[in-house]
Amino acid sequence: MQRLRADCPWDAKQTHRSLVTHLIEETAEVVDAVEADPIQDTDLREELGDLLMQVYFHAEIARRDGRFDIEDVARGICDKLVARHPWVFSQADDPDDLAGTWEQAKQAEKKRTSALEGIPESLNTLARAGKVVSRSRAMQVPVELASEPITADAGREILAIVQRAQASGVDADQATRDALRVLENQVRENELHSRASGS
């Protein structure tokens, strides 16, 4: 990567921002390889390599700017995994709620004041909705969330809702974004209320 950055005109002019499209595309290709039936090891290995190259590329841009390098990236993720798994790397007992424990550790480490902080704005609507709900549950935000069981074929049920919305002239994605915005506002308001009341 250092050689490409120095000697290839295209690689030399790339920035973190100009590479975002490639990062998204390579990530999507990994997902496609994982979801292939059956998984082809050669395809998955290739796509993982392409994604790893994006990590190296961003780290090399930062290294040349004197900010950090690939070793810092690797060290950072190792330190994070050790710190967030005390039941693996120290004498702590396994927590009853692994997801909640993970989220609480992350919130404390990053000094976050809201369950919504750190959820990527660029996530697609359904993924973002899932993350908002998951975080709200893990952080025990006092907000009403549906919890009725759903069949194992949830995807078909979600697709049926999209079909019904389309047949009714409703943009399912926009409707979900609107509803998600309402939920996010409720989460923020309830968090503020909890902090104000000291609970």
Would residue 45 count as lying in a domain?
yes
What pLDDT does 156 receive? 93
- Closest listed residue to residue 191, CA positions, set 129, 134, 117: 117
The pair of three-digit structure tokens given for residue 88, joined into one six-digit string: 């693996």
What pLDDT does 106 receive? 85
Find all residues with CB under 8 Å of 15, minimum gap 6, and list them. Answer: 61
Distance CA 97, CA 46 (A): 35
Residue by residue, pLDDT tens for the chain (199 residues) are 999 999 999 999 999 999 999 999 999 999 999 999 999 999 999 999 999 999 999 999 999 999 999 999 999 999 999 998 999 999 899 999 888 888 888 888 889 889 999 999 889 999 999 999 999 998 889 999 999 988 779 999 999 999 999 999 999 999 999 999 999 999 999 999 888 887 6
Would residue 92 count as lying in a domain?
no
Would residue 134 count as lying in a domain?
yes
Distance CA 136, CA 116 (A): 8
Q: Is 196 helix (H, G, I), strand (E, B) or coil?
A: helix
* Farthest-apart Cα atoms in the chain, separation: 60
What pLDDT does 120 receive? 93
Structural domain of 15: 2-83
What pLDDT does 199 receive? 60
- Closest listed residue to residue 54, CA positions, set 35, 26, 77: 26
What pLDDT does 100 receive? 81
Cα dist. 37→43, 58, 154, 155, 199 in Å? 12, 32, 20, 17, 49
Would residue 89 count as lying in a domain?
no
Would residue 91 count as lying in a domain?
no
Structural domain count, the chain:
2
What pLDDT does 67 receive? 98
Domain co-membership, 67 together with 111 = no
Domain co-membership, 64 together with 114 = no
Q: What is the DSSP letter of 122?
A: T
- Which residue, of 28, 61, 83, is where some domain finishes? 83
Q: What is the DSSP string of 143-171?
A: ---------TTHHHHHHHHHHHHHHTT--
CB-side exposure of 191: number of CA atoms within 13 Å? 18
160-167 contacts, C-beta under 8 A, 24 or more apart: none
CB–CB of 5/12 below 8 Å?
Answer: yes
- Which residue, of 35, 57, 83, is where some domain finishes? 83
Find all residues with CB under 8 Å of 68, minimum gap 6, and list them. Answer: 59, 62
- Closest listed residue to residue 117, CA positions, set 196, 188, 32: 188
pLDDT tens readout for residues 110-142 = 898 899 999 998 899 999 999 999 999 988 899
